[in-house]
Structure formats: structure tokens, C-alpha cells
Amino acid sequence: MAGVGEFDIIRDYFAGAPTGESVLLGIGDDCALLQPPAGSVLATSVDTLVAGRHFPEGTDAAKVASRSLRVNLSDLAAMGAAPLWFTLALTLPSADRKWLRGFSHGLLETAREYGISLVGGDTTAGPLSITVQVTGHAAKPLRRDGASVGDAVYVSGPLGAAAAALPVVERKRKVDAELQQAAEAAFYWPEPQLQLAQSIAPLATAAIDISDGLLADLGHICRASGVSATVDLESLPVAALARELAGESARELAATGGDDYQLCFTVPAAQVPELEQLNSGAVRIGTLVDAAGEPQVLTRWRGQSWSPKESGYQHF
């Protein structure tokens, strides 16, 4: 990397990084050298987490590291891709050894869990932010624009936990130690749905990961595919933690809250029996219908049309 001295400083902290067979040359030269699996389609995604915006200032470094890699791995899952390698661009106020130890521990633990290799990076002095770029390979990529009228709409698992956890994570709400820990796990250790993605990819027509909120993210599939969706709120799988923390509001958080990193995907009606046989844990929540020129998500709750008070994360 240009500014080679930069990564040298912290290279030691990442020395234990796992390395897959696709990595010919990792950290330490101007570029990493990589040999993709023969004939593969690569999927790549980049995300930045900024202190004070995506996580509270002063958050434990291992938590920040875990979340920064997991949210990127979730993008690979959303494309039906398997992880290969990633890079890290780290901007931090000073080369704080304790912070770097915690960060590298959290990062490499997550990397080992999901079998992805750290191949390079850059470190600069400045306000704390973390940019991770992941690359994977997909046998059958799942795009947003492949869905059709009649497809069934699924989510991969319970929703609402991360959104319900947010006030606790931000220390705006006090709870007991056990709930505090559960809230932090939901927010900092979301589970990228990589295995489920591999199993449903042959059957699915479109997929997205739920980062901005189910209704907002399903809306992206609808617009890209030129269809509308009907969703029955009663069918949503609501996370137990969301019920515990948010009570009556849990169902709304499941519909509109972000940061759960479950998948939303679509399957043709004819493939629904095969999908159900996978016992993947995915739950059917709706159906795609004719958009009549205006793709949208039509939500019902107890037989009535329902609109969220707010839908999705506002980035600016």
C-alpha cells in the first residue's frame, strides 16, 4: 500500500490473521496478490463505521471490530457469496496499543469464525473510523433485480433485536447486566447469514440484507425488480429480545428497525415446497404482486392497511 510505513506500525497486531489458499501475498507489499477460484464471479462490498455515528465514542475496540467485519460479511450473504478475503482501512487518533490489541483480537476472532483472510490495509491518523472491504465468490449471485410477481417473500430469522437494543447500547436506557449483555451482543455481534444464503441461493430469485429495516430493504428489491410486495405484519418473526426490551413496540421495530442483518429473499411459488424442506429457519412474510407502475411495500396488520411512523435509517 502507498504509505507503507503506516501498516507496518500495526502489522504485528494482525500477524495471526488466517490466510486462505487464494492469498498468494498478504500484508506488507504495495498490493496483496490474490488468485480467485477458477471461473468464479467475485462479489465485493465496502462499509465505513464512524465513531459517534455508527457506534458510541469510547466503545470497546473488540466490539467495534466485530461489528465492522460482520456487517460486511452480511453483504456477501445477501449476494449468496462465500467469503474469500478482506482489507481494513483504519483511521485512529493515535497508535494506542491497548486499543489496537482489543481491535485486532475482535477482528481476527471474527475472521477465523467465518474463514476470511485479512490481506491488506492502511492506517492513518485522524478521527476514529473503520472501513472494511470484503470479497467473496458466488456460484449463483443473488441480485436485487431478479424477483417476479407471485414470488414468496421470506426473512431468514427474528427481527427487531438490534433496534430494540440501540438505546441500551447508547447508554440512554439502563437495564440489568444480563439484558445489557444481550443488547450488546445483538448490536455488535450480528450473525451474517452466510450458511443460510448458500443453502437458499439455488432457489431464490432476489435477496438483500436487512440493514436499514425490513420494509425499507424489501422496498429496494421491489424497485429493482419492478414489483410490489404485500407483507402481513402478523407473520413477522419478532426477536425475543425485542419483545423483552420494547414490549408492544417490538413488532414495529421488527418491521422498520435496522441493524439485524437477517436476509430478506424471494422464492418462486413453485419452489416454496423445496425451500420449506430445507428447514432453514426462514419465515414466509408475504408475496410479490403487480406493481402497476409504482413499486411499493403494502403492509397489513390485523386486516388493516398499516404504515410505519418512520421507515428506514436516514444517512444524512
Q: What angle do CA 240, 75, 311 make, to 5 degrees?
A: 55
> Shortest distance, CB of residue 25 to a second copy, whole angstroms?
6
| Residue 150 labelled as part of a binding site | no
> Shortest distance, CB of residue 286 to a second copy, whole angstroms?
20
| Residue 104 labelled as part of a binding site | no
| Residue 29 labelled as part of a binding site | no
Q: Which helix (H) or strand (E) holds 113?
A: helix 97-114
Among residues 94, 108, 87, 102, which one has the least CA distance to residue 15? 108
Cα–Cα distance measured from residue 253 to residue 214, given in angstroms and rounded to the nearest whole number: 9
Q: Which is closer to a second copy, CB of 76 or CB of 243?
A: 76
Q: Which is closer to a second copy, CB of 33 or CB of 240?
A: 33
> Shortest distance, CB of residue 39 to a second copy, whole angstroms?
8
Q: Which is closer to a second copy, CB of 145 or CB of 290?
A: 145
Q: Which is closer to a second copy, CB of 9 or CB of 270?
A: 9
| Residue 121 labelled as part of a binding site | yes
Cα–Cα distance measured from residue 286 to residue 281, given in angstroms and rounded to the nearest whole number: 16
| Residue 144 labelled as part of a binding site | yes
Given a contact cutoff of 8 angstroms between Cβ atoms, the answer to whether 291 and 228 are in contact is yes
> Shortest distance, CB of residue 64 to a second copy, whole angstroms?
14
> Shortest distance, CB of residue 200 to a second copy, whole angstroms?
15
Cα–Cα distance measured from residue 156 to residue 141, given in angstroms and rounded to the nearest whole number: 17
> Shortest distance, CB of residue 239 to a second copy, whole angstroms?
19
Q: Which is closer to a second copy, CB of 179 or CB of 224?
A: 224
Q: 172-176 contacts: CB < 8 A, separation 24 or more?
A: 175/245
**Would you call 292 helix, strand, or coil by DSSP?**
coil
| Residue 209 labelled as part of a binding site | yes
| Residue 105 labelled as part of a binding site | no
Q: Which is closer to a second copy, CB of 6 or CB of 232?
A: 6
> Shortest distance, CB of residue 199 to a second copy, whole angstroms?
18
User: Pairing relation of β-strands 297-301 and 304-306?
Assistant: antiparallel
Q: Which is closer to a second copy, CB of 224 or CB of 291?
A: 224
| Residue 154 labelled as part of a binding site | no
Cα–Cα distance measured from residue 269 to residue 31, given in angstroms and rounded to the nearest whole number: 46
| Residue 45 labelled as part of a binding site | yes
Among residues 218, 224, 203, 307, which one has the least CA distance to residue 263? 218
Which residues on neighbouring strands pair with residue 228, listed in sequence order?
A: 289
User: Pairing relation of β-strands 129-138 and 41-50?
Assistant: antiparallel
**Would you call 119 helix, strand, or coil by DSSP?**
strand
Given a contact cutoff of 8 angstroms between Cβ atoms, the answer to whether 108 and 118 are in contact is yes
**Binding site members for Mg(2+):** 30, 45, 47, 75, 122, 209, 212
**Binding site members for ATP:** 121-122, 144, 211
**Binding site members for substrate:** 54, 259, 313
**Binding site members:** 30, 45, 47, 54, 75, 121-122, 144, 209, 211-212, 259, 313
